[in-house]
Amino acid sequence: MSYNKPRKAIVIFTAILFHCLLVFHLLFSPVIIVLASSKGIVNASFFSFIIIFVFSLFFGRAYCAWFCPGCGIQEITGFFVKKKVKNSKAKYIKYFIFFAWMSVIVVGYILKGFTQIDLSFGMADISIQKRLLLTVGAIMFIVPLAIIFGKFASCKYVCWQAPILIIGKRIRDMLHLPGLRIKTNADKCKSCGVCSKSCPMDIDVAKKISCGEIVDDDCILCGSCIDSCKFGALKYCISTPRKAALRK
Ligand code: SF4
Ligand code: SF4
């Protein structure tokens, strides 16, 4: 069974839907929530980010590969750009961005408090031109990064949402909660390395086969490695974490 085909179809559909409806910024923009917090308003993206966090407590980073509109834009870009992102130290940039962004939001709500809930904040109160600008701006941010540094560069290096999911996934593993994972079977593995080549996040999957599970903060559970292994050494499972994998 191929996971990549349905996954790509779903994530490209979400990208087209959210961008065409001009609601990408309302639910996922890092900017609108900063403006909202400076006025003490609980806006729609406040709830989006909480939902994403709760999702990660069970599904890890699967949201990134299966539902994120930003990922969908990169999949569309991937039809033209074949360059693959590198597993470099640049992946830590996203944590600095997240920390700075979250600090501004927290300070905003501390100073202003939660004064009202306004789910349309950033929609009804801004012009269609500004909404278009925010939507096109997000695409103009993601696409050049993919062209220069490889497909999935924004997920790997700069995404402000990625640390939310990584924190959720780590809490899940720390508490030994069951969740969606990729199980490995070393007995079936022929060490061919095809799974590592297929990983869009440049994770050395083959190196992790002996752990019994793929544990990596950058694994977005896309299923490419599962699809690529002709020997059935990888599969999705719902389970608690394996100790060997967590130690690595
Ligand atoms: S593709 Fe399969 S057999 Fe080859 S290294 Fe990966 S897990 Fe092992
Ligand atoms: S390790 Fe497998 S599931 Fe995770 S990102 Fe790489 S290819 Fe996708």
Q: How many structural domains compose the chain? A: 2
| Res 248 pLDDT > 60 | no
- Closest alpha carbon to 185 in 220, 229, 216, 222: 229
Mutational test site, ligand 1, from 182, 183, 190, max ligand atoms within 8 Å of CB: 190
In a domain, 153, yes or no: yes
Ligand nearest to the CA of 182: 2
Same domain, 184 and 158: no
Would you say 6 and 230 are in contact if contact means Cβ atoms under 8 Å apart?
no
Same domain, 133 and 14: yes
> Of 110, 134, 168, which residue is a domain's last?
168
Same domain, 158 and 222: no
Q: What is the pLDDT of residues 99-145, one digit of tens each?
A: 999 999 999 999 999 999 999 888 777 788 888 888 888 889 899 99
Q: What is the CATH number of the domain that holds 229?
A: 3.30.70.20
In a domain, 30, yes or no: yes
Same domain, 90 and 183: no
Across the range 16-33, mean pLDDT stands at 86
Q: Which atom of ligand 1 is nearest to the CA of 228?
A: 1
DSSP state of 242: P
The answer for residues whose C-beta is within 8 angstroms of residue 164's C-beta and 6 or more apart is 49, 52, 53, 56, 98
Domain span at residue 29 reads: 4-168
| Res 160 pLDDT > 80 | yes
Nearest CA to ligand 2 atom 8: 222
> Residues with beta carbon inside 6 Å of ligand 1?
189-195, 205-206, 209, 228-229, 231, 233-234
Across the range 20-48, mean pLDDT stands at 90
